[in-house]
Amino acid sequence: MEKIEVRSRIKKVISKVLSVDEQAIAENANFVFDLGADSQQSLELVAAFQEEFNITMDEDKAFSAQTVSQAVDVISGYLN
Amino acid sequence: MVNQQMKEENLKKIFYPSSIAVVGANKIAGTVPHDILVNFVRSGFQGVVYPVNPKAKAIASMETYKYVLDIKNPVDLAVIVYPSSVVDLALEQCGQKGIKSVIIISAGFKEVGEVGLERERKLMEIAAKYNISFIGPNCLGVINTDPAVNLNASFARRMPEEGSIGFLSQSGALCTAVLDYAFPRHIGFSKFVSFGNKADLSELDLLQYLKNDEKTKVILLYLEEISDGRALMQISREIIFGTGKPILLLKSGRTAEGARAAASHTGSLAGSDKICDAALRQAGIIRCENIEEMFNKAIGFAYQPLPANKRIAIITNAGGPGVLATDSVIKQGLQMASFTDKTTAILAGALPKTANIKNPVDVIGDARAERYRVALSSTLEDHNVDGVLVILTPQSMTNIESIAHEVTLIAGKYDKPVYTSFMGEMDVAGGIDILQKNKIPHYRLPESMAEAFSATYRFRQEQALSGLEIPRFPDVNKGRAHSILDGAFKAGRQFITEDESVNVLEAFGLPVPDHGVASSREEAVTIAEKIGYPVVMKILSDDIIHKTDVKGVVLNLRDRNEVQAKYDEMLGRVKCLRPAARIKGVFISRMLEKGEELILGMKKDIAFGPVLMFGMGGIFVEIFEDVNFNVAPVNTNEVKRMITGIKSFPVLAGSRGREVSDIESLEQCIHRLSYLAMECPQIKELDINPLMIFGKGKGCFVADTKIMV
């Protein structure tokens, strides 16, 4: 899967889980600091990414991704 | 890097901010980021609060900002409550905003391991870049009860009462327990700080702040580790002896490590907690065993004047508790006062015939407030009384609340301390509450009352003994000692040989017997003849630390024949037992007469630096560990205490017909060793064992010594 598609689908997931406008999600936006994810929502985000891409992520790896671009890299790694 | 002046300004804004940003606040009640915001409102904070949250428009009806940078007005203090993973981003923005004072509540730093440690390092880098001072991370927060701010920047359940006790704690959880303990007892605080991981601001900075804080009269400190013991001693001395504010410390880890295996006696006896105990005592800090003891003592200091002396009057309505209190008064080193005739006459006139008008004054079980009033005011009037302990047990006719009011009223009229113990639980609760509200120290047991009183008396005594001089010795030859020690250090040796050790001690004026080093049998005889018989011979080798293990010590050689014979014998034995050892020669010194054996030593402690040890030698040190420690340098009073403080001191003082020892020369030895310890940082451990002390005027001499570098 191309990174551009991964990015687009990630933004959709974030928009849904964190209730933020998809257009307002910047590439380097931090889930907690910029998008306001609380600890529960951080868990929900990981679960939603796994469901969206049908992958199982290592917990440490999943939570190490704190921004959109980092999430793209981690998820692309699993897909490839 | 934040300089001292900036740090002080930053600390002032931590305690007295006009505006605060709660960075990472949220709407979820019951979470730290929410409750901490609400606490500002509940405590009646006198300034402005700006919640910062990336999504919320408002929290607790307060307009909310996405970033701290979005706040238009200046912000004095930021309280960061974000998860640890983004605290660095928040701190960076605080720096950009020009906020210099920060409290980081968030956990997930040094305490969780390497990842957290790295995060903490990053915070310190950002703080240094923007001249930020911060408390935390991983802490409960800060409370300032001063009505000028009413600041509760913490997630404690409630704001404590205003008071004069400053509380500093490394543990946040302990803080909440302390607040809960203090609240029903009406114990108030001036400043209340949980400083967590102390990545930036530490107890030293906070003590410095409290030193000058007019609202703080007493300082309580809970520590789990002491990282810079000498700095703690320094600032504590400035506070205790400079401003008269007592410091009470609770330090955990009393039994943690025990004495580590060490090459010297001093090393193995000097367990870290013993050193810590000695250092705290030297600095004037009162070390407590538990929270209850800490507060028992603290309220005495906070509520009442210090006693001028130790003469106590006890007033009781019950004989048994009066006797218990008397026992405790004596046990604590206080005295029972002898009343003047005037006091005795007043008591005889006002109390029933069955009452005891001597000390302890027993006003009898049916006493009501009037009898307590007469007894308390007349004893406080008495110039032979320095303080009064009031005991009450609840009988059917005891008007407890009235007595409590009476005690409060009278105590306030005199500049002498009044402590109380209303014994029991349920019936006395109302009276206790009156006492506590009116800042009359109250104790569940008379024993605790006497102990707390004694702490204030001893504190006053200590104040009188502070500032005594540390002798200097212009006659020492530092260069000679340094060249020996540096040589050994450069050569990678871990200890120096006996001749070198003796030379180092001699260079600092410690009394060593006449000595010389022989490299042949003939030379040994020449040296022995010059010194005079009897002599001692010891093997010298960089490879042999314990000479007796290789039979490398021969005592009491009385003539040239014995020296010649034993010289060959000793070398032969050593060569046989340690064939690879490189022999430097044989150390020959005068054989000392029999005196009292002492041990004197020094060890470099990680937290406190050079520490001195003194005790009786032989079985006293082997079995009873009868030794005292003091951090170098020591003043004249500390040296006297080191000597007189050992249990076996009567042996030196001439008990049971023994000759009185030359204490004056012993004091000189300890002072010179203290000077050596400060001037020779190359030394890790040093043992003089034994130091032989003789009768008054006959001095003391180093009989054997070992120095590790």
Reported as a single tens digit per residue, the pLDDT across B376-406 is: 999 999 999 999 999 999 999 999 999 999 9
In DSSP notation, B82-111 reads: S-HHHHHHHHHHHHHHT--EEEE----SGG
Helix/strand/coil for B360: coil
Summarize the confidence of residues B496-509 as an average pLDDT: 92
Would you list which residues of chain A are within 8 Å, Cβ to Cβ, of chain B?
18-20, 30, 32-36, 38-39, 63, 66
Cβ separation A33–B28 shorter than 8 A: no
* Lookup result for tokens 């490394």: B170
Dihedral (C-alpha) B622, B628, B629, B630: value to the nearest 10 degrees? -160
Helix/strand/coil for A71: helix
Position B631 in a domain: yes
Distance CA B220, CA B288 (A): 10
Residue B684 shares a structural domain with residue B559: no
Please determine, for residue B620, whether its predicted confidence score (pLDDT) is greater than 80.
no
Summarize the confidence of residues B252-280 as an average pLDDT: 62
Helix/strand/coil for B702: strand
Reported as a single tens digit per residue, the pLDDT across B659-706 is: 899 999 999 999 999 999 999 999 999 999 899 999 999 999 999 899
* Of the listed ranges B344-358, B427-441, B647-661, the one predicted with least confidence: B647-661
Q: What residues in B contact A32, CB-CB < 8 Å? A: 54, 82-83, 85-86
Amino acid occupying residue B418: V
Determine if residue B274 is left, alpha or beta; phi over 0 gives left, psi from -120 to 50 gives alpha, anything else beta: alpha
Please determine, for residue B351, whether its predicted confidence score (pLDDT) is greater than 90.
yes
Summarize the confidence of residues B207-212 as an average pLDDT: 97
Cβ separation A33–B54 shorter than 8 A: yes
Chosen from A38, A43, A45 to mutate, greatest number of chain B CBs within 10 A: A38
Residue B259 has what pLDDT? 37
Q: Which helix (H) or strand (E) holds B708?
A: strand B705-708
CATH code: domain of residue B197: 3.40.50.720
Could you tell me whether strands B133-135 and B101-104 are parallel, antiparallel, or unpaired per DSSP bridges? parallel
In this complex, the residue of B28, B56, B83 whose CB is nearest that of residue A32 is B83
Q: What residues in B contact A19, CB-CB < 8 Å? A: 55
Q: What residues in A contact B82, CB-CB < 8 Å? A: 32-33
CB of B269 within 8 A of CB of B616? no
In this complex, the residue of B26, B56, B89 whose CB is nearest that of residue A30 is B89
In DSSP notation, A49-70 reads: HHHHHT----HHHHHH--BHHH
Q: Which helix (H) or strand (E) holds B568?
A: helix B560-577
Residue B661 shares a structural domain with residue B686: yes
Please determine, for residue B57, whether its predicted confidence score (pLDDT) is greater than 70.
yes
* Tokens coding B121: 């390092």
Reported as a single tens digit per residue, the pLDDT across A4-58 is: 899 999 999 999 999 999 998 999 999 999 999 988 899 999 999 999 999 999 9
Q: How many domains does chain B have?
A: 4
Does residue B90 belong to the interface with chain A, where contact is any CB pair within 8 Å?
yes
* Tokens coding B307: 């006693």
Summarize the confidence of residues B520-540 as an average pLDDT: 91
Please determine, for residue B152, whether its predicted confidence score (pLDDT) is greater than 90.
yes
φ/ψ of B31, rounded to 5, equals -110, 155
Percent over 70 (pLDDT), chain B = 96
Residue B190 shares a structural domain with residue B61: yes
Q: What residues in B contact A63, CB-CB < 8 Å? A: 85
Distance CA B94, CA B67 (A): 9
Position B272 in a domain: no
CB of B339 within 8 A of CB of B386? no
How far B13 CA lies from chain A's nearest CA (Å)? Answer: 25
In DSSP notation, B662-674 reads: -HHHHHHHHHHHH
| Domain ranges, residue B547 | 514-590
Which CA distances in Å does B157 have to B39, B154, B175, B569? Answer: 8, 9, 11, 79
CB of B103 within 8 A of CB of B10? no
How far A31 CA lies from chain B's nearest CA (Å)? Answer: 10
CATH code: domain of residue B579: 3.30.1490.20
Position B498 in a domain: no
B453 or B586, greater pLDDT: B453
Reported as a single tens digit per residue, the pLDDT across B169-178 is: 999 889 999 9
* Of the listed ranges B38-47, B128-137, B619-628, the one predicted with least confidence: B619-628
Which of B556, B573, B590 terminates a domain? The answer is B590
Q: What residues in A contact B86, CB-CB < 8 Å? A: 30, 32-33, 66
CB of B362 within 8 A of CB of B319? yes
Does residue B96 belong to the interface with chain A, where contact is any CB pair within 8 Å?
no
pLDDT band at B254 (very low <50, low <70, confident <90, very high): low
pLDDT band at B619 (very low <50, low <70, confident <90, very high): low
On the 0-12 / 13-18 / 19+ scale of CB atoms within 10 A, B259 is middle
How far A39 CA lies from chain B's nearest CA (Å)? Answer: 8
Distance CA B176, CA B199 (A): 21
Dihedral (C-alpha) A19, A25, A29, A31: value to the nearest 10 degrees? 20
How far B604 CA lies from chain A's nearest CA (Å)? Answer: 43
CB half-sphere exposure, A41, CA atoms < 13 A: 20
Please determine, for residue B514, whether its predicted confidence score (pLDDT) is greater than 80.
yes
Distance CA B686, CA B639 (A): 18
Position B287 in a domain: no
Residue B208 shares a structural domain with residue B307: no
ipTM of the modeled complex: 0.89
Summarize the confidence of residues B320-347 as an average pLDDT: 97
Residue B552 shares a structural domain with residue B418: no
CATH code: domain of residue B415: 3.40.50.261
Q: Which residues of A22-42 are buried (b: 16+ CB within 10 A; e: fewer)?
A: eeebeeebbbbbbbbbbeebb
pLDDT band at B594 (very low <50, low <70, confident <90, very high): confident
Residue B270 has what pLDDT? 53
Cβ separation A36–B85 shorter than 8 A: no
Residue B569 shares a structural domain with residue B601: no
How far B35 CA lies from chain A's nearest CA (Å)? Answer: 15
CATH topology of domain A3-79: 1.10.1200
Residue B208 has what pLDDT? 97
Cβ separation A18–B55 shorter than 8 A: yes
Please determine, for residue B260, whether its predicted confidence score (pLDDT) is greater than 60.
no
Residues 6+ apart with CB under 8 A from A21: A15
Residue B3 has what pLDDT? 85
Which CA distances in Å does B280 have to A18, B159, B222, B483? Answer: 54, 31, 13, 34
DSSP E strands in B448-502: the ranges are 495-496
Reported as a single tens digit per residue, the pLDDT across B276-324 is: 999 999 999 999 999 999 999 999 999 999 999 999 999 999 999 999 9
Catalytic machinery residues of A: 38
Q: What residues in A contact B54, CB-CB < 8 Å? A: 32-36
Q: Which helix (H) or strand (E) holds B203?
A: helix B203-211
In this complex, the residue of B28, B56, B82 whose CB is nearest that of residue A32 is B82
Position B259 in a domain: no
Residue B419 shares a structural domain with residue B324: yes
In this complex, the residue of B26, B56, B90 whose CB is nearest that of residue A33 is B90
Summarize the confidence of residues B261-268 as an average pLDDT: 46
Position B471 in a domain: no
CB of B322 within 8 A of CB of B298? no
pLDDT band at B654 (very low <50, low <70, confident <90, very high): confident
Residue B25 shares a structural domain with residue B61: yes
Please determine, for residue B2, whether its predicted confidence score (pLDDT) is greater than 60.
yes
Helix/strand/coil for B162: strand
Estimate to the nearest angstrom the gap between the alpha carbon of B153 and the chain centroid. 29
Q: What residues in B contact A33, CB-CB < 8 Å? A: 54, 82, 86, 89-90
CATH code: domain of residue B635: 3.30.470.20
Cβ separation B54–A36 shorter than 8 A: yes
* Lookup result for tokens 């060890």: B603
Chosen from B55, B81, B87 to mutate, greatest number of chain A CBs within 10 A: B55
In this complex, the residue of B28, B56, B82 whose CB is nearest that of residue A33 is B82
Residue B224 has what pLDDT? 87
Residue B80 has what pLDDT? 98
Amino acid occupying residue B538: K
Q: What residues in A contact B89, CB-CB < 8 Å? A: 30, 33
Does residue B30 belong to the interface with chain A, where contact is any CB pair within 8 Å?
no
How far B58 CA lies from chain A's nearest CA (Å)? Answer: 13
Estimate to the nearest angstrom the gap between the alpha carbon of B707 and the chain centroid. 28
Residue B559 shares a structural domain with residue B618: no
Please determine, for residue B632, whether its predicted confidence score (pLDDT) is greater than 70.
yes
Determine if residue B87 is left, alpha or beta; phi over 0 gives left, psi from -120 to 50 gives alpha, anything else beta: alpha
Does residue B65 belong to the interface with chain A, where contact is any CB pair within 8 Å?
no
Position B290 in a domain: no
In this complex, the residue of A19, A38, A66 whose CB is nearest that of residue B28 is A38
Closest CA to B266 of B691, B600, B667: B600
How far B144 CA lies from chain A's nearest CA (Å)? Answer: 29
Which CA distances in Å does B201 have to A2, B6, B91, B168, B210? Answer: 49, 12, 15, 12, 13
Does residue B64 belong to the interface with chain A, where contact is any CB pair within 8 Å?
no
Residue B142 shares a structural domain with residue B113: yes
Residue B79 shares a structural domain with residue B212: yes
Estimate to the nearest angstrom the gap between the alpha carbon of B293 and the chain centroid. 15
Domains of chain A by residue range = 3-79
pLDDT band at B358 (very low <50, low <70, confident <90, very high): very high
Residue B15 shares a structural domain with residue B58: yes
Position B505 in a domain: no
Average pLDDT, chain B: 92
Closest CA to B528 of B500, B550, B557, B554: B557
In this complex, the residue of A35, A63, A66 whose CB is nearest that of residue B54 is A35
How many other C-beta atoms can be found within 10 angstroms of the C-beta atom of residue B494?
A: 13
* Of the listed ranges A62-76, B269-283, B580-594, the one predicted with least confidence: B269-283
Reported as a single tens digit per residue, the pLDDT across B213-226 is: 999 999 999 998 88
Q: What residues in A contact B55, CB-CB < 8 Å? A: 18-20, 35-36
* Tokens coding B8: 């002080």
Does residue B330 belong to the interface with chain A, where contact is any CB pair within 8 Å?
no
Closest CA to A44 of A58, A31, A26, A34: A31
Could you tell me whether strands B77-80 and B19-23 are parallel, antiparallel, or unpaired per DSSP bridges? parallel
Residue B541 has what pLDDT? 87
Does residue B467 belong to the interface with chain A, where contact is any CB pair within 8 Å?
no
Q: What residues in B contact A66, CB-CB < 8 Å? A: 85-86
Give the pTM: 0.89
Please determine, for residue B266, whether its predicted confidence score (pLDDT) is greater than 60.
no
Residue A59 has what pLDDT? 87
